[in-house]
Amino acid sequence: MRLYLCGFLLLLLDDLSVCVSSSSSSSSSSSSSPSPDFVDCIRASEECNLSPQCSSRYRIMRQCLVGKDWNSMLANKECQAALEVLQETALVECRCKRGMKKELQCLQNYWSIHMGLSEGEDFYEASPYEPLPPVRLTDAVRLASIISSMNTGSGKAQSHCSDPSGTCNQCLDATKACNLNDNCKRQRSNYISTCTRSECNRKRCHKALRQFLERVQSQYSFGLLFCSCQDQGCAERRRQTIVPTCAYEDKQKPNCLQLRKTCRLDPFCRSRLADFHTHCQMSDDSISTCPNDDYQACLTAYTGLIGTDMTPNYEDANHTDFSISPWCSCRNSGNQEEECEKFLRDFRENTCLRNAIQAFGTDITKTTASTNPEAARSNPTANPNITKLEYDENGLKCSPVKGFICAEEEDSIGTEEKPEWSPSNWSIGLKLRTEAWMLSLLFAVGNAAL
Amino acid sequence: KRTKRAKKGTKPCSLTDKEMTVSQLGLGYVSDEVILFRYCSGKCVASRRNYDLALAKLKGQRLLTRENMDRARHSPCCRPTAYEEITFLDNRSQYHTIQEVSALKCACV
């Protein structure tokens, strides 16, 4: 009876909040066209090349930037004039998409102009990537219902974490999920065999890893990377995900600022690092400490760094606490020790990243632990259009539009043990009062029923 | 008559799969990782050639010596024609790749 009541409330909430979201903001829910429409930098430079005035300035600008620092460039009148003209064109506002065709070329175009706009020595650089569609509570709730129906509906996706007697190894479950999906299995097998060859070819290993992360749905890759662990064996498996002996570790640990310098010389690495800093930067404005409380954006930006010189990983197989770092240290920093420590802290002591990873892990436990046939059965029937749309391939298909919110909040009864993911935080993050109100009502009823 | 037989007949040779742990493969690797082991099974009645029919007849008429009869098969076998490798992390945190351990395609040969 109680379950039925909650299931009903969930549906009610879903329907209402869909109405709210569709009326209040049309931009974020229809994520195929993110609010400010960015021109990609390849298009922008093509357009520039069509106009004789723009193309000549663009050429001058690029020449100006070769081998010169910012100040000496500005000292040159011609360079300054070129910059002023270019600031009026689409080139300044252009962005790139993650995993787009000719991504590298796009990023090169981006930096060829933005190198001149920033000081070049900034601690944080703006991300050249299009902002991700924000992940909203409504989407999360909707997907949760799909997931719960998948987990209880077909026995295939059942994890042994739902079995209270057995020990739960979430990372092993994530591997199983990947092995049962043909694409994930093939891509995983591909990067593992590349990275475990007798002679480690780091470049090729990194490339295979990037390919894996690009081509595999994030519900699988995130599951492997961010599973939460209760024992060391699990944590070691999590640490081993990217084959650290080849992709991560090296004979020597370089200085972090030196590594950053190397990374910034490569437009790809530089862009991914800027993206990480944009989406995982700690801020005091939000309770989650993530920009806009968007955990998904931070996790995406983090995975974007894997396969670059700045590849981050878990430092050890500690299951009670985890520490993440690129392969570098702050030894031999000289007078830049403070800056180096600051840089490293964004990985090691980043509460935003930490919360995002932990929230991802707890979501999985909740969804897989659900043995709630009543709610599972009632949800898909009530949202037939949604289930039809997103419930086709392999039982569950993560909607590509929304990114990867495939393992989301499911069982709203019993969230007390994880404070970061409590409803009050969500409401702040989403800044939608109606939804917050509805959700607290739901929780009140849920708790009362308990 | 034919439809009745078709209904009763077992499924033709095709790919089947089974979820199992790497340890259960019995190849000496110890890993709790669950993989999908694919294998070929099913009947090959439809793809019998004249050879098979003739051989069956020979055997039925006892025209072959007992020795030869034991080894001669008068029906094609359902076997993999392409294989797949399996990659996994074992329980001692070592990655392994086993070649040709899972079937990819089946045929009556």
pLDDT band at residue A148 under the 50/70/90 scheme: very low
B44 and B75 Cβ atoms separated by less than 8 Å? yes
What pLDDT was estimated at residue B69?
65
Nearest to B97 among A180, A193, A243 (CB): A193
List chain B residues with CB under 8 Å of A189: 85-87, 97
- Residue A36, pLDDT score: 60
Q: Is B34 on the interface with A (CB under 8 A)?
A: yes
Q: Which residues of B touch A183 (CB under 8 A)?
A: none
What pLDDT, on a 0 to 100 scale, did the predictor assign at position A286? 78
Judged by a CB distance cut-off of 8 A, whether residue B20 touches chain A is no
pLDDT tens sequence across A254-298: 999 999 999 988 899 999 999 999 999 998 877 888 888 889 999
Which residues of chain B from 69 to 88 reach within 8 Å of chain A, CB to CB? 85-88
Answer whether residue A155 shows pLDDT above 60: no
Q: Which residue of A lies nearest to B97 if distances are taken between CA atoms?
A: A193
Strand partners, B34: B21
pLDDT, average across residues A438-448:
52
**Residue A73's pLDDT is what?**
67
Please tell me the pTM assigned to this model: 0.71
In chain A, the residue whose alpha carbon lies closest to the alpha carbon of B32 is A172
B69/chain A closest Cα distance in angstroms: 43
Tell me whether residues A188 and B86 touch, CB distance under 8 A: no
Average pLDDT over residues A117-134: 74
Identify the band that residue A411 occupies on the pLDDT scale cut at 50, 70 and 90: very low
- Smallest Cα distance from A263 to chain B, Å: 29
pLDDT tens digits, A192-245 = 999 999 899 999 999 999 999 999 999 999 999 999 998 999 999 999 999 999
pLDDT at B2: 54
Q: Answer whether residue A435 shows pLDDT above 60.
A: no
B106 or A113, greater pLDDT: B106
Residue A96 carries which DSSP code? B
Give me the pLDDT at residue B32, please.
94
Asked if B91's CB is within 8 angstroms of A180's CB, the reply is: no
**Any B CB within 8 A of A394 CB:** no
**pLDDT at residue number A279:** 92
Q: How confident is the model at residue A449 (pLDDT cuts 50, 70, 90)?
A: low
Query: CA A18, A22, A28, A31 torsion: positive or negative?
Result: positive
Angle at A115 (CA atoms; ends A262, A279), nearest 5 degrees: 70
Indicate whether A137 pLDDT > 70: no
Please tell me which residue of chain A has the smallest CA distance to B21. A176
pLDDT at A403 over 90: no
CB contact under 8 A, B95 and A243: yes
Tell me what pLDDT residue B83 has.
96
Read off the amino acid at residue B22: V
Q: What is the pLDDT of residues A339-366, one digit of tens each?
A: 999 999 999 999 999 999 998 877 655 4
Mutation target to probe the B interface, by most B beta carbons within 10 A, among A160, A167, A175 is: A175
pLDDT of residue A115: 67
| pLDDT mean across residues, chain A | 72
Q: Is B99 on the interface with A (CB under 8 A)?
A: no
Q: Residue A336 corresponds to which amino acid?
A: Q
pLDDT at A407: 37
Q: What is the pLDDT of residues A99-124, one digit of tens each?
A: 888 999 999 888 877 765 555 567 88
**What six digits make up the tokens of A187?**
């891509």
Burial of A281 (0-12, 13-18, 19+ CB in 10 A): middle
> With an 8 Å Cβ cutoff, is B19 touching chain A?
yes
Look at B36 and A175 and tell me if their CB atoms are within 8 Å. Answer: no
User: Taking 80 as the threshold, does the pLDDT of residue A129 lie above it?
Assistant: yes
Whether the pLDDT of residue A23 is over 50: the answer is no
Task: List, in sequence order, every beta strand (DSSP E) within B10-94.
Answer: 14-21, 34-41, 78-89
For residue B93, the chain A residues in CB contact (below 8 A) are 236-237, 240
Q: For chain A, say whether B90 makes contact (Cβ under 8 Å).
A: no
Q: Enumerate residues 6+ apart whose C-beta is below 8 A from A72.
A: none
pLDDT in tens, B82-93: 999 999 999 999
pLDDT tier, A26 (very low <50, low <70, confident <90, very high otherwise): very low
Contact B93 A237 (CB under 8 A): yes
Helix (H) / strand (E) containing A65? helix A52-65
